Amino acid sequence: MKPKITDRIATGVIIGIAGIIMAILAGLIVYLLYRGLSHISWHFLTSPPQSFKVGGGIGPQLFNSLYLLVLTMIITVPLGVGAGIYMSEYAKANKLTGFIRLVVEVLSSFPSIVIGLFGLLVFVNLFHMKYSLAAGALALTVFNLPLMVRITEQALRGVPREQKEAGLALGLSKWKTIQSIMLPMAFPAIMTGTILAAGRVFGEAAALLFTAGMTTPKLDFTNWNPADPHSPLNPFRPAETLAVHIWKINSEGRAPDAPEIAAGASAVLIIIVLLFNFGARMLGRAIYRKFTATK
């Protein structure tokens, strides 16, 4: 068989497989949105859930998911980017570095339920955090940190060598070269890693069952004192997230309209993830274009 024909066949097979995957994904998203959009309203987005009555909402769960995202990314991004910079630019090629990379790879393949049990043993019981947002954020940091480290390291290694050498040749220090040249050029890839990590926070349920808990106390949204147990900003209160709420309401099904609530909550979760992904990508491209324009 001629090489051109083989190339065309291989290209057609790859495009066909990609098309099938995209069609399955699009069909799943459309189906969930079709089932859930009709149940979304302002009352649904702001009211608390009901255990035995019709008309419950997802207000506290939606807030808990967003707040947990902020707490997790505040911890994950600095640690992940810093570790990625060290592994890419400062770590020497030896057995210790190889062991660290092995640990990172192993952690990235751990099931989330194992991370949840680890969080239960260490953060909830050993450090006496109890079921709380803080314990959930730390567990998700363990879950997402390998991803951030690996993507940051690969992004910095993908910066052209000439750019790095040009900065050093101009008399810039190593850190100044990383800060002023390499990090801005690697920013789109690092932003992609941040988006992936944030998406995992939104959709994670198994790890949070054992750390953040499956209940939410009555919240007073007029009280923003983090030390108050009923304040929404208290990081040491139990917090049922949107993904956990979807699992819980489907497994218990005590509310008469449980299928409708689950469908609406699933649609809200998908919409938030899509908006966050598109918004973050647009922001990353805008910052990258601004940096390249100034150069």
- Backbone angle region of 253, left / alpha / beta, with phi > 0 → left and psi within -120 to 50 → alpha: left
**Amino acid 164: pLDDT:** 80
Distance of alpha carbon 200 from alpha carbon 197, whole angstroms: 5
Give the DSSP H or E segment for 215. Answer: none
- Give the integer Cα–Cα distance in Å for 246 and 239: 14
Mean of the per-residue pLDDT values of the chain: 85
Q: Is the pLDDT of residue 295 over 60?
A: no
Per-residue pLDDT at 98: 82
Q: Who's near 278: CB < 8 A, 6+ residues apart?
A: none
Above 90 in pLDDT, residue 4?
no
Q: What is the pLDDT of residues 232-273, one digit of tens each?
A: 899 999 999 999 988 888 887 677 888 888 899 999 988 888
- Residue 256's pLDDT is 82
> For the whole model, what pTM was predicted?
0.86
Across the range 28-49, mean pLDDT stands at 89
Residues 6+ apart with CB under 8 A from 268: 36, 40, 45, 58, 62, 242
Q: For residue 70, what pLDDT band results from cuts at 50, 70 and 90?
A: very high
What number is the average pLDDT over the span 154-163?
Answer: 84
Query: Which residue in 103, 95, 99, 104 sits closest to 153, CA to CA?
Result: 104
How far apart are the C-alpha atoms of 40 and 8, rounded to whole Å? 46
Rounded percentage of the chain residues whose pLDDT exceeds 70: 96
CATH of region 40-294, choose from 3.30.70.100, 1.10.10.10, 1.10.3720.10, 1.20.120.140: 1.10.3720.10
- Crossing angle of helices 3-36 and 258-294, in 10° steps, is 130
What residue segments make up the domains of the chain, in order of their start? 40-294
